[in-house]
Amino acid sequence: MKKRWLIGLLCASVLASLIPSRVYALGVSATAAVLMDADSGELLYEKNAERQMLIASTTKIMTALVVLDHGGLQHTVTVKQSHMAEGSSMYLKPGEQVTVEELLYGLLLCSGNDAALALADYCGGMTQFVTKMNEKARQLGMVNSSFANPNGLDDEAHYSTAHDMALLAMYAADNAAFVRLCSTKSVTVNGRTMSNHNRLLREVEGCIGMKTGFTKAAGRTLVSCTERNGHRLVAVTLQDGNDWADHAALFDYGFTQFADLPSETAWLVLPGGVRKE
């Protein structure tokens, strides 16, 4: 009997070593988070993915995409006093003339709220611009999102979810002009030097950027995209005091533990979130 038991235990051990593990420990500090395959749209990890929350300056991903749809990167915009805004800035001055491309760098690298207002004005004014933002959100299936401004300052009518922002990031990752802009680490244009606030560009292998955000009410928000071996993942965290480390962990999880597993492998509940089969 003892011999049979030992043989059975040995066989079970061998089988266990041949079958991929199905549960992986992964937790993030964010109130809401999503990791998504940017090529297929498959959801790899989620935590409160559908909770409507403030998104701060990650809003500017949508702002940039609407501007790029409008076109005219080399068109000149004259800065107005009405473009001056609270919070982060690219330090525009009334009367200054800048190109749309320069404003987009200011929007995505140093998160300029002034750049957001100047770009909205260039595209037909605030009301028309916000309408376009919400139209694009509907087109992308962002059914739990509402945009009220181009810069992400707190507003009851301005919110999204981690899942919706991942859909936006997946779309943005296919826009070559957007990727070129948001992945730029530093640029000097017309004597103005701007550095990207996104530390992941320097700290995470294959990161191609996206957008940071922060307000007191929203907390830290972050949307990022990383490409390794021709495969892209997007990550979103909302209200996350440890977002740099969380995004690094999410990408390591996605690339080293998800991408290499057989497609038939099942996924179960993960600490702090869920990976659906």
Active site residue 17: no
The answer to whether residues 169 and 234 touch, using CB atoms and an 8 Å cutoff, is yes
Which of 249, 223, 262 has its CA nearest to residue 273? 249
From the candidates 47, 88, 111, 224, give the one annotated as an active-site residue: 111
Active site residue 111: yes
From the candidates 17, 29, 47, 57, give the one annotated as an active-site residue: 57
Active site residue 132: no
From the candidates 13, 29, 40, 60, give the one annotated as an active-site residue: 60
Q: Give the catalytic positions in this structure.
A: 57, 60, 111
